[in-house]
């Protein structure tokens, strides 16, 4: 698994975010020779630079949801303009009111964007599912899904391959007491859990209802569900590198082995 974007809400490039990165959510998983991409924030453009060197590309792109910070890289996804490539797009939060293709068409429409989605000449398919569905995009790859606690809905993923598991849980808000049983079931015993830890405990009370969580709530979830490696993710754009260093030191003290996501970081379960 490689992290191409680790921020939430809005990209924040600059000298104060060099060590952790300023791009919004995008990560890549490799399951054997299969490539899975999760979310299409501004980090997707950086991944796209690498994909251009590997044409033809055949990959699946799974969206947790379609708030702007998670899809704003899609119109600039240059390898989707190349007819040699194949992309399958997945989303589980839109059905039945909407569908993924129509939403991405609206994103790339006048007057918001100068060219329509039809200009993307890659072999593109759009697959809507329902939270709770089990997806099998390729033989040997099993992806469990669950509804998250976020405005307009979002979906969490558990990818299982070759006896190992990685969970991608963003954007979600923890309950006032205990842990969300639906998410705890999804991540139980996972080798790696990437979790929305946007706020600190001190910041969270003024942000209740925003649909995001804290690193300490993620730690409680990891402990309750028997997660092996917990990854702090979806960093607040207001948290500069120095604050992220302080968070990293605190989480490492509280739960040794916990990782704070950085752009370019690679983890293997």
What does the pLDDT average to over 215-240?
98
Is the pLDDT score of 198 beyond 90? Answer: yes
Which helix (H) or strand (E) is 2 found in, with range? strand 2-5
Phi, psi angle pair for 2, to nearest 5°:
-125, 140
**Any alpha helices (H) in the chain, and if so which ranges?**
43-51, 100-107, 181-187, 215-225, 241-254
Q: What is the pLDDT of residue 95?
A: 87
| Sheet with 123-128: strands ordered across | 2-5, 26-31, 34-38, 58-63, 86-91, 123-128
pLDDT at 110 over 90: yes
pLDDT in tens, 125-139: 999 999 999 999 999
SS3 58: strand
What pLDDT sits at residue 84? 98
> Model confidence over 137-153: pLDDT tens digits?
999 999 999 999 999 99
Return the pLDDT at 236.
Answer: 98
CB 86 within 8 A of CB 59: yes
Domains observed in the chain = 2-266 (3.60.15.10)
**Separation between Cα atoms, residue 37 and residue 59, nearest integer Å:** 7
- 21: which 2 tokens? 């990165």
Spatial CB neighbours of 32, under 8 Å, sequence gap ≥ 6: 140, 161, 162
Kindly give the pairing relationship between strand 259-260 and strand 2-5: unpaired
**Beta carbons of 39 and 67 less than 8 angstroms apart:** no
Beta-ladder partners of 192: 166, 229
Please state the pTM of the whole predicted model.
0.97
User: Do 59 and 36 touch, CB atoms closer than 8 A?
Assistant: yes
Determine the Cα–Cα distance for residues 163 and 165; give it in Å rounded to an integer: 7
Percentage of the chain surpassing pLDDT 70? 100
Beta-carbon-side half-sphere exposure of residue 229 (alpha carbons within 13 Å):
18
Indicate whether 167 pLDDT > 90.
yes
Q: Token match 């060219």: residue?
A: 115
Q: Which helix (H) or strand (E) holds 223?
A: helix 215-225
Buried residues in 154-173 as b, exposed as e (16+ CB within 10 A):
bbbbbbbbeeebbbbbbbbb
How buried is residue 96: exposed, middle or buried, by Cβ count under 10 Å (0-12/13-18/19+)?
exposed
Average pLDDT, the chain: 97
The DSSP bridge pattern shows strands 164-169 and 154-161 to be: antiparallel
């Amino acid at each position: 698994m490689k992290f191409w974007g680790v921020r939430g809400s809005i990209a924040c490039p600059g000298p104060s975010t060099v060590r952790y990165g300023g791009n919004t959510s995008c990560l890549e998983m490799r399951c054997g020779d299969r490539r899975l991409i999760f979310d299409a924030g501004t980090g997707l453009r950086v991944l796209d630079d690498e994909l251009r060197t590997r044409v033809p590309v055949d990959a699946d792109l799974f969206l947790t949801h379609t708030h702007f910070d998670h899809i704003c890289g899609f119109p600039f996804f240059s390898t989707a303009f190349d007819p040699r490539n194949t992309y399958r797009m997945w989303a589980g939060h839109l059905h039945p009111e909407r569908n993924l293709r129509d939403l991405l068409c609206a994103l790339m429409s006048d007057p918001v964007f100068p060219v329509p989605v039809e200009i993307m000449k890659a072999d593109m398919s759009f697959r809507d599912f329902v939270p709770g569905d089990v997806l099998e995009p390729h033989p040997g790859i099993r992806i469990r899904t669950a509804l998250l606690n976020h405005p307009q809905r979002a979906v969490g993923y558990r990818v299982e391959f070759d006896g190992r598991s990685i969970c991608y849980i963003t954007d979600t808000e923890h309950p006032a007491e205990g842990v969300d049983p639906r998410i705890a079931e999804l991540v139980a015993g996972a080798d790696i859990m990437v979790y929305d830890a946007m706020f600190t405990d001190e910041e969270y009370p003024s942000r209740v209802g925003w649909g995001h969580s804290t690193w300490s709530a993620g730690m409680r979830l990891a402990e309750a569900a028997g997660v092996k490696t917990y990854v702090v993710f979806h960093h607040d754009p207001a948290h500069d590198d120095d604050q992220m260093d302080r968070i990293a030191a605190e989480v490492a003290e509280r739960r040794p082995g916990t990782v704070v996501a950085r752009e370019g970081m690679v983890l293997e379960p």
